[in-house]
Each structure stands twice: as structure tokens, then as C-alpha cells.
Structure 1
Amino acid sequence: MNLFLTDLELAKVASMFMYSCPIIALMLLGYRTALAYGILNIIPFYMIINNVDLSGYSEIASQLPEADLYITALIFLFFNICIPLATARTIVAAKRLNKTMLNANSFLKDKNELYRTLFTESNKAKIIVDENLVINLSFG
């Protein structure tokens, strides 16, 4: 934004996109990517603190007449659509993982009860046939 805007104050507002990237990366991609974006945010922070103007490199004589409106609209969309969608995706993934873990725990609990019933709490011999029709004898 700093490269294409002649108004430095407007370019500072546009840096909010960069500052929110670690949050989105943490939710969607993981902590390593979020850390990388956090370190990358040192660049726009340095540019804002030192009033670095890069618009001279792009040879733009004047900026768009409605540039502030465009940037405000982009920030609005980003914070009101992109971040909530990323949060919703994270919540849905966590719910799916929780459901999978509950199903796995239920399956293991059932298998444990079956094992206990057949082998540890009974003194009678058992014949067990698995899905391959292999017969196993147990005396216990």
C-alpha cells in the first residue's frame, strides 16, 4: 500500500492488514506460519515509525481519488468477513475433531468391556471366530 499511495497516513491505516495476518495464520495454518507473519510485521512497523515513503519508486503522480474509501472498504471486509470465516472454520474443525475423539473413545470402551467380559471375568472356555473365520480358543 505504501508503494501505491501518496498519503502516508492512509498507508499507515492499510498496514492493519499485515498486523492481522498472524491471527489468521494461527487459526488456519498453524503457529509456525503465524510466527513467520509476526516477524514479517516488523517491516511495516518500521516503515510507519520512520515515515518511510515508497510512493516515489512507483512513479505515481497522484493517488486514486477514492483511495481512502477503497482501503476502508477492504479493511471492513477483511475484519467482518475474512476473520469471522477463519474463526468459524477453526471452530468447525475443532468440533469434528472432538466428535472423532468421542467416537474413538466409545469404540475403545466397548472393546475393553468385551475383553473384560470374555477373558478376565469368566472361568469358562470360549470360542471366538473373527471376520476371517479363524477360530480362537480361550481358557480362562
Structure 2
Amino acid sequence: LYMSIISLFEPLQSYYLTEQMIKKGSDTVDVNWNHQADLLYVILTTALTMANTNHVIELSKMITEAHTLIHNEQYLYEKTELHFIEGLLLYLQKNYESAQKKIQESLYIFEILNSKHLAKLYQKRWQHFLDNYNHF
């Protein structure tokens, strides 16, 4: 249920709810692949929200949590999304050159995978982030 309504919460509220889900799910997350994939989706969604609202500390924590869940090759899309989100963190930390490189690498991976729609989606997310960043 939370996955489908996460965008309805205020940014920090979604962060704290996700944090609680991580704490409560830590006992079962490696037992059931479906739960692991769902939790990873929630973490990445929350991380993107934290990036778009300039919550650097919370974003860093979500990135760390995502890294603990991505430990096999089945997560190519998620790894690419995480790479993209790490680029956003670098941008917030004013490391613009490294940020740009990570973002472009992510977009390139989507293009190589012949996922033009994903590449376009992430180009829009990048532009949305930049528009928000200029208002911080």
C-alpha cells in the first residue's frame, strides 16, 4: 500500500516512514525477493524525493540503504537509477563535474539497453531536479 501512495506524503514524512519500513523489514528483507524488490523501490523513490527537496543527509542515508539491498545482477535498472541518484547527491554537494558524469552515464546505459522511454524519463527527472535546484 505504501508503495502506491508514497508520493502523497510530505518529503520528510515519506523519509521517516521509509526509515521505519527499513527497520521493521530488516528481519525479512533477505528472505523474500519480492519484499526486497519492493523495499528497494520505496528506498529509491524516497531518495529521489530527498534529492528533489535538497535533503542531503536523508538522501545519503537512502543511498546507503539502497547499496545494501542491491547485491546481485538482477537489479540492472535499480543500479542505474541509484547511479543517477548518486549524481544528484554530487550535484547537491556542488561537485558539478562528477555529478554531470554520473547523470550522463545513467542516461547512456538506458540508451544502450534500447530503453529510449527510460532515457527520456530520466532526462526529464534531471531537468526537474535542475529546475528545483535553482529555487533552493
TM above 0.5: no
More helix, by proportion: 2
**Highest Rg: 1 or 2?**
1
**Greater relative contact order, per chain length (Cα 8 Å cut-off, separation 6+):** 1
Q: TM-score, normalised on structure 1?
A: 0.30
